[in-house]
Amino acid sequence: MDLDSVADELYGLRPEEFVAARDRRARDAREAGEQALAKEIGALRRPSLAAWAGNLLVRRRPEEVEPLLGLGEELRRAHRELDGTRLRELARRQGEVIGALGRQARRLAEREGHPVGESVQREVEETLHAVLADPEAARAWAAGRLVKPLRSTFGFPQADVLEPRPSGVPRRAADGRREKDGHQEEDGHREEREDPRRAKPGDTAVEPDEDELARRRRIKEARQAAHDAEGDLRDREAEVRSADADAETARDRVAGAERRVRELRAELRLTEREQRQARTDERTARERARRAGRAVREARRHAETAAERVERLAAGERD
């Protein structure tokens, strides 16, 4: 027994089964004399419903993992390269993929006996947004052992490397020495170097060169494109949620109509059986009526014959 295999087993269970199974495994480890392992197992936390649904998606649909991770890499690359057109294309694709996977996670949870609502689906989709934005989040999700849903920030943090460096913050020079404000430091010694871009007393302010202005313009355009793409994505997701709600309402109406159709069909079958029985009863009654009519006519003839005989006898006639 090891922590990795136990964790893999536990996070594949339904949430209500987690604690009892964890405690059993911790007890088994203690009985085997592995106190440190028992403590680590006992520290494992039960996943929230949204985290469990996200884990379920990884475990039941492993073929979906690599395409999503690949999409995240493409998005991050587009941010780094300031490719606004590509960002917009990928953002639309992102919305479609995340919406589809969120609905798929919801269906999987329902099949496992845990129907979830829109709020849980949104948390799963938020996790998937984080997966696309952050490689660490992607690795955590792909392991299928989330304890709580992941949170994504607006945009991609990888794009922050494009921000101009704040003044006063040291950076690493090409030769490995720290560079700050036109000076370089190495092994505790500072060597004064003149920065041609740095203003000197009496100098006028140095204007950025054309390359720097173009770079800043590209950054601004790319960030605006990313902002627009994210906004478009949120709008599309809202449309998807609204469409899903309408679809659920329509599905409920369809289910109700189908139930009513089944009831009416059953009622129709019963009525048809009653109709057939009534026709049978009618035929039987008509046959009885015909037989009774023949019997009446026969009885009438007998009665008339008997009456005539009585009359003849009364008149002194012989038979």
Q: What is the pLDDT of residues 18-64, one digit of tens each?
A: 999 999 999 999 999 999 999 999 999 999 999 999 999 999 988 88
Tell me: the pLDDT tens digits for 76-125? Answer: 888 777 777 787 888 788 888 888 899 999 999 999 888 888 889 999 99
What mean pLDDT, rounded, does the chain reach? 76
DSSP characters over 2-22? -HHHHHHHHTTS-HHHHHHHH
Do 158 and 79 contact (CB within 8 A), yes or no? yes
Give the pLDDT band (50/70/90) at residue 318.
Answer: low
Backbone angles phi, psi at 219, to 5 degrees: -60, -45
Do 51 and 149 contact (CB within 8 A), yes or no? yes
Supply the pLDDT for residue 319.
60
> Measured between alpha carbons, how far is 28 from 33 in angstroms, rounded to an integer?
9
- Using CA atoms, how far residue 193 sits from 174, 180, 181, 183, 189, in Å, is 15, 10, 9, 5, 13
All structural domains of the chain with their residue ranges: 1-46, 47-163+212-289
> Measured between alpha carbons, how far is 203 from 195 in angstroms, rounded to an integer?
13
> Measured between alpha carbons, how far is 102 from 235 in angstroms, rounded to an integer?
16
Which one-letter DSSP state was computed for residue 40? H
Coil, helix or strand for 264?
helix
> Measured between alpha carbons, how far is 50 from 102 in angstroms, rounded to an integer?
10
